Amino acid sequence: MLQNYNTIMVAVDGSEAAEVAFKKAANVALRNHGKLLLVHIIDLRAFQSVASFDGVLAEQAEELAKTTLKGYVDEANKLGLEDIETVIEYGSPKAIIAKELPEKYKVDLIMLGATGLNAIERLFVGSVSEYVIRHAPCDVLIVRTQLDNKTPTGKA
Q: What is the mean pLDDT of residues 19-31?
A: 95
51 pLDDT tier (thresholds 50, 70, 90): low
In the predicted model, is pLDDT for residue 5 greater than 80? yes
The gap from C-alpha 61 to its chain's centroid, in whole angstroms, comes to 16
**Please, which pLDDT band fits residue 132 given cuts at 50, 70 and 90?**
very high
pLDDT tier at 28, thresholds 50, 70, 90: very high
pLDDT value of residue 50 = 57
> Looking at residue 47, what is its pLDDT?
64
Q: What is the mean pLDDT of residues 138-151?
A: 82
Contact 84, 77 (CB under 8 A): yes
Per-residue confidence (pLDDT) for residue 49, from 0 to 100:
61
129, 73 contact by CB (below 8 A): no
Going by pLDDT thresholds of 50, 70 and 90, the confidence category of residue 146 is confident
3-state secondary structure 55-99: CHHHHHHHHHHHHHHHHHHHHHHHHCCCCEEEEEEECCHHHHHHH
Supply the CATH classification number for the domain 7-143: 3.40.50.620
Q: What are phi and psi of 90, to 5 degrees?
A: -110, 135
* CB contact burial 122-150 (16+ within 10 A = b; e otherwise): eeeeebbbebbeeebebebbbbeeeeeee
> Which amino acid appears at position 91 of this protein?
G
User: What pLDDT band is residue 46 in, cutting at 50, 70 and 90?
Assistant: low
- Alpha-carbon 155 to chain mean position: 20
State the pLDDT at residue 15.
85
Q: Model pTM? A: 0.84
